[in-house]
Structure 1
């Protein structure tokens, strides 16, 4: 799990989190903690940059959906950007793309939220 990271930077009104590593059943608890802490910071607009995600299975998808739900409950907006093509297919096949807003680039997401 050494290659896992969630690096954050504040840009305007957005908190950008660059996520790296494999999101699966082994790493689920780690990512769950990271996203929980991220949302607890109180950022109003959170963009998860998933360009560094090398693999994501149903457990990883579950973590993303859980983070989205937690963000909504706290009054924040959580969106995804730079989603790798295999994960994009999973989002489409499961219908998760109906809940999770997906942007092609971080800049596109920032522009929507006044980054």
Structure 2
């Protein structure tokens, strides 16, 4: 039995770090609800750490795009970090990696957001 999807929130400097874990599939409601709750707090720099995402299908991809749109609408910047190869392939194949910045590490993502002056 697969682990239940979860979101663990942490802050690093001025960035909100959200580590997603579990399968991102048709049962992604916990991801969407928790992301909305966390992003409603008003952080302007959001990093989604995908290092613990065991599976991602089109429904999971939809959640990532939804989160990116929500951040954009609120004036925040959302980036991805620690994307595992199976998820990276999906991002490449669909062109999502041309919309949402992808970083190798959470530290790299946070540093670039700060260096870019993202507020």
Give the TM-score category using the shorter length.
over 0.9
| TM superposition score normalised by structure 1 | 0.94
| TM superposition score normalised by structure 2 | 0.91
Distance in 2 between the 1:37 and 1:25 partners? 20
**CA shift at 1:3, angstroms?**
2.9
The residue that corresponds to 1:72 in the other structure is 72
Contact between 1:35 and 1:67, CA under 8 Å: does it hold in 2? Answer: yes
Distance in 2 between the 1:104 and 1:85 partners? 11
The alignment's C-alpha RMSD in Å is: 1.4
Runs of 4+ in structure 1 displaced over 6 angstroms? Answer: none
Structure 1 counterpart SS, 2:43: coil
**CA shift at 1:68, angstroms?**
0.2
Structure 2 counterpart SS, 1:83: coil
Moved more, 77-86 or 3-12: 3-12
Q: How many residues align?
A: 114
Aligned pairs (5 A) from 1:1-115: 3-26=4-27, 28-114=28-114
Consecutive unaligned residues in structure 2, runs of 5 or more:
none
Contact between 1:103 and 1:109, CA under 8 Å: does it hold in 2? Answer: yes
Moved more, 33-42 or 80-89: 33-42
Consecutive unaligned residues in structure 1, runs of 5 or more:
none
Contact between 1:13 and 1:113, CA under 8 Å: does it hold in 2? Answer: no
